[in-house]
Chain A
Amino acid sequence: MKVLAAMSGGVDSAVAAARAVDAGHDVTGVHLALSPSPASYRSGARGCCSLEDSRDARRAADVLDIPFYVWDVAERFARDVVDDFVAEYAAGRTPNPCVRCNERIKFAAVLDRALALGFDAVCTGHYARLVDGLLHRAVDSGKDQSYVLAVLRPDQLARAMFPLGDTRKPDVRAEAAARGLIVADKPDSHDICFIADGDTRRWLEGRLGSQPGPIVDAQTGDVVGGHDGAYAFTVGQRRGLGVTVPAPDGRPRYVLDVSVVTRTVTVGPEDRLDVRTVLAGEPTWCGPQPTLPWQGLAQLRAHGEVHRCTGEVVDGRLVVRLWDPARGIAPGQTVALYDDTRVVGSATINSTAG
Chain B
Amino acid sequence: MAYLDHAATTPMVPQAAETMAALLSDCGNASSLHGAGRRARRIVEESREAVAAALGARPSEVVFTGGGTEADNLAVKGIFWSRRDADPRRCRVLVSAVEHHAVMDSAEWLAAREGAVITWLPVDETGRVAPQTLRDALVAEPDDVALVSVMTANNEVGTVQPVDELAAIAREFGVPMHTDAVQAVGQLPLDFAQSGVDAMTVTGHKFGGPLGVAALLLGRDVDCVPVLHGGGQERDVRSGTLDVPAIAAFAVAAELAVKEQPVRAERLRELRNSLVDGVVVAVPDAQLNGEPSLDPLRRLPGNAHFSFPGCEGDALLMLLDARGIECSTGSACSAGVARPSHVLLAMGHDEARARASLRFSLGHTSTDADVAAVIDAIAPVVERARSTSG
Contacts and interface: CB of A to CB of B under 8 A. Distances in A.
Contacts, number: 48
B388 A54 contact: no
Interface residues of A, number: 20
B388 A72 contact: no
A31 B319 contact: no
A69 B336 contact: yes
Residue of A33, A72, A112 with highest tally of chain B CB at under 10 A: A72
A117 B384 CA distance: 6
B338 interface: yes
A70 B337 contact: yes
A183 to B, nearest CB: 16
Contacts of A67: 318, 321-322
B321 A33 contact: no
A155 B95 CA distance: 53
Given A116-B388, A117-B388, A33 B314 contact: no
B23 interface: no
Interface in A88-134: 112-113, 116-118
B335 A38 contact: yes
A70 B318 CA distance: 10
B336 A54 contact: yes
A342 interface: no
A112 B387 CA distance: 10
B25 interface: no
A117 B318 contact: yes
Nearest to B315: A117
A275 interface: no
Contact of B337 (A72, A116, A118): A72
B175 to A, nearest CB: 35
Contacts of B334: 37-38, 51
Contacts of B319: 117-118
Interface bin, chain B: 10 to 19
A33 B334 CA distance: 10
A51 B335 contact: yes
Contacts of B318: 28, 67, 69, 117
Contacts of A113: 315, 388
A175 B253 CA distance: 47
A71 interface: yes
Contacts of A137: none
Interface string B312-324: 0011011101100
B336 A70 contact: yes
A104 B113 CA distance: 42
B6 to A, nearest CB: 21
A31 B318 CA distance: 13
A46 interface: no
A117 B314 CA distance: 11
A113 B386 CA distance: 11
Listed from nearest, the 9 A-B pairs whose CB atoms lie closest are: A70-B336, A116-B388, A54-B335, A33-B337, A38-B335, A72-B337, A116-B387, A51-B335, A113-B388
Given A51-B335, A70-B336, A112-B388, 20 more contacts: A31-B335, A33-B335, A33-B336, A37-B334, A51-B334, A54-B335, A55-B335, A67-B318, A69-B314, A69-B317, A69-B318, A70-B337, A71-B314, A113-B315, A113-B388, A116-B384, A116-B387, A116-B388, A117-B319, A117-B384
